[in-house]
Chains A and B, each alone.
Chain A
Amino acid sequence: MPKEIVIDIAKCTGCGYCELICSFAHHDEFNPRKARIRVNTFIEKSIAVPVVCYQCEDPWCVNACPAGALRIETDATADTRMITVDKTQCVGCKMCTLACPFGCIEVTDGQAEKCDLCGGAPQCVNICRAGALQFIDPKTAVAAKKKNVAERLVNSYREV
């Protein structure tokens, strides 16, 4: 399977470095409000949850777009599959923002804007020292979770 940004909220420290680097990479300024990834911090619970486009299998935004500006692109060499915005086609009608249940596509400066995986090397993942963001095959992430559970069982296992 192609690689995706996989989020592990147990590791997120809420530093928001991902937001800073995202806005810098795409808008030449440090501005969390213009970032395509958003870290929601629940300060009293000491928990932070990054939210970014999940590159849906059957994307609401693509289905809703009346201008044909959104499409799914796969790149075998970069091993990615992502939903891209064709800026020449986008009319800024905001249908995609209404359709996306996750709030992961916005209209900025008149045009739809969403995570483009930085073309195959996401900077947010690169800067995440905590390892809360990883750019991997989601199957690997799921396998790691299973192994984690297995290890906990092993640790609690005692011969009777």
Chain B
Amino acid sequence: MWHGWTGNVLRVDLSEPRVTVEALDRRAAKAFIGARGLGVKYLYDEIDPRIDALDARNKLMFVTGPLTGTGAPGGSRYMLVTKGPLTGAIAHSSAGGAFASAIKYAGYDMLIVEGRSRRPVYLWIDDDQVEVRDAAHLQGKTSTATEQAVIAETHPEAKVACIGPAGENQVRFACVMSDMGRAAGRSGVGAVMGSKNLKAVAIRGARGVTVADKTAFWKAMMAAYRKVDHPDTEHFHQVGTPGVLALVKELGILPTRNFKYGTNPDWQKLSGDRLAATLSTRKNMGLACPGCPVGCGRVSRISNPKYKSEGVGPEYETIGLYGSSCLTNDLEVTAKAGFICNEMGMDTISAGSTIACAMELYEEGHLPIQDAGMPLNFGNAEAVIKLTEDIAHRRGFGDILAEGAFRLASRYGHPEYFMGVKKLEFPSYDPRGVQGMGLGYATNSRGACHIRGEVHDLSLYGVDYWRVTTDRNLGPIDPLRWDDKPELAKDIQDWFCVLDACGMCNFMFFLGMDEDNCRALIEAATGVDMGGHRGLMRAGERMFNLERLFNLKAGLTHKDDTLPDRMLKEPMPGGPAKGMVVHLDEMLPPYYRLRGWSAEGVPLPAKLSELGLQ
């Protein structure tokens, strides 16, 4: 009997097409929990990591966790696991919304899509009924238009994940959109879906998710809920992620002019409070994901005729990259660019960062105007909007930008202007002012990522003490110190593996929930003893190491665990982090040692056998 998990895996081979349902591997479920962990385990076992990400042999896995669809606070996430076309590394992109829970209610823990359809198709999963339907008429449709059309053709209660034109055109940072504006954003998972000729997945489910111990689950659920229910949560509900900008500004790590500076004198034009006071509609409330006591989303409306539109967002990352790194310093432009990205189905972080990179190449004289088609000076709002649209359609210069900032900068002979790691662009935090983040960027398995081990957040979100490691308290976290960060980075990365695996939203952690809450919920839901705090963290470490093994097999090495020269050699020009570079050389060797890896970043046999990964 399965609790928490449903015990079923739905496998669709689009080449045939063929639909099969198989039993979930119980040993894998116990060892890898779900979502990110279980997805990586299945992908590692089923594909050769060396294949091209857009090859038909790559697989796309929509994976839920045991808490997805339950009443665990924020328990409405799923993870898209595949090999990433932007990075060539492991890719796992998470999204919230009702689509995630619908997978569980239809009776599946995961949906594995393999092969490639000869014609554009979409999947309609109504509990046990699975249909592969023609999608020729949906080609070229934006994400919200696709979602509406698919709902109209299937069922009013269907939940839809789909790609927009960017995914169809295999833009290397295309995402998979769901619930009218939620994105499984990074690494180009949408391009993989596009390469399979899969336009959308619609799911409706009538089943429930049961738990192993009702009394224990109720207790754990209410305990976690009470932790999250406090005044900071209300503020986060009102302002959402754009509120982060004010915190980032305090640390002097707001990317400005493609990460040349960490301070932007015009930051107030982009702040969360300003957004709430100007563009946000309905008292800043968007619609919350299922079972979320926070509700961080919002809807914005631009009335300026030049950009007149309405949509979900913008989130902090969009504002940081499009607003500050591209130096438009204009929330309307930022919001508009974000709306375009949502409709086209592409990652606002990579899109904004790639445009900023093009702007720097242009201003430094490495990118001729004939190629760009227009002046690309920082702050050129018209160019930002036009290029965002052109990227999605791979029109003109947009076709080159659609390959991402690394390939762009390399094409023009200056890869040093690419701001990212493992070909994945930095999110909106300059690591020179948050040393741990630099180490996190360099070592996270999917590349420069802020939510796969949020080493920065301890100082950003007012978590003054690292409470997850109950063994020992590291004390107050100084963002500019580096000697304490290897231990911190390892610990936080492992813990976030667990969070990403269970099906809960990691915002719950910033808002007060801790690992004891998480463990109690997983154990009560599944009936599996996680082996206390150490057992839980070991599960996270197991996932992180398996991702490392995938990347090593895919051809990545320790040489990819690095940062752009700007972060390592150019001292921060001003602000609170003035004079700082990232001390990666001091952090990386002890980090590898703590991980039980060789000096070349390869997990040693002792570590692998300890984790059961032999």
Contacts and interface: CB of A to CB of B under 8 A. Distances in A.
Interface of A: 10, 13-17, 20-21, 23-24, 27-34, 41, 43-44, 46-48, 127, 129-130
Contact of B210 (A14, A15, A28, A33): A28
Contacts of B424: none
A31 B207 contact: yes
Contacts of B218: 24
B289 A23 contact: no
A27 B289 contact: no
Contacts of B291: 15-17, 20
Given A43-B180, A43-B287, A34 B208 contact: yes
A32 B70 CA distance: 10
Contact of A13 (B206, B211, B287): B287
Contacts of B229: 129
Given A44-B144, A46-B285, 20 more contacts: A13-B237, A13-B287, A13-B288, A13-B295, A14-B287, A15-B289, A17-B71, A20-B70, A24-B71, A24-B214, A30-B210, A31-B105, A31-B206, A31-B208, A43-B179, A43-B287, A46-B282, A46-B286, A127-B71, A129-B293
A33 B299 CA distance: 27
Given A24-B218, A30-B208, A33-B206, A16 B179 contact: no
A138 B46 CA distance: 59
A34 B469 CA distance: 40
A27 to B, nearest CB: 7
Given A15-B292, A41-B287, A30 B281 contact: no
A29 B208 contact: yes
Contacts of B206: 31, 33
A15 B208 contact: no
A20 B299 contact: no
Nearest to A47: B282
A31 B287 contact: no
B209 interface: yes
B287 A130 contact: no
Interface string B371-403: 000000000000000000000000000000000
B412 to A, nearest CB: 42
A28 B214 contact: yes
Interface residues of B, number: 34
Closest 5 CB pairs of A and B: A31-B208, A29-B208, A15-B288, A13-B295, A13-B288
B597 interface: no
Nearest to A128: B293
A127 B218 CA distance: 12
A107 to B, nearest CB: 15
Interface of B: 69-71, 98, 105, 144, 179-180, 206-211, 214, 218, 225, 229, 233, 237, 281-283, 285-293, 295, 299
A29 B209 contact: yes
A10 B281 CA distance: 12
Contacts of A130: 237, 295
A29 to B, nearest CB: 3
Contacts of A47: 282
B208 A23 contact: yes
Contact of A30 (B70, B287, B292): B70
A10 B291 CA distance: 18
Contacts of A13: 237, 285-288, 292, 295
A126 to B, nearest CB: 9
A46 B208 contact: no
A26 to B, nearest CB: 11
Nearest to B67: A30
Nearest to B102: A32
Contacts of B288: 13-15
Contacts of A16: 98, 290-291
A15 B69 CA distance: 12
A48 B290 CA distance: 12
Contact of B69 (A10, A27, A30, A127): A30
A21 to B, nearest CB: 6
A31 B290 CA distance: 12
B293 A33 contact: no
A129 B229 CA distance: 7
A127 B287 CA distance: 17
Contact of A46 (B144, B210, B293, B299): B299
Contacts of A127: 71, 225, 293
Contacts of A14: 287-288, 295
8 contacts: A13-B287, A13-B288, A16-B290, A17-B71, A17-B292, A29-B208, A32-B105, A46-B299
A130 B283 CA distance: 13
A41 B97 CA distance: 12
Most B-side CB within 10 Å, residue of A34, A47, A127: A127
Nearest to B293: A129
A44 B290 contact: no
Contacts of B71: 17, 20-21, 24, 30, 127
Given A28-B210, A31-B209, A129-B229, A15 B295 contact: yes
B144 to A, nearest CB: 8
A26 B255 CA distance: 51
Nearest to B69: A30
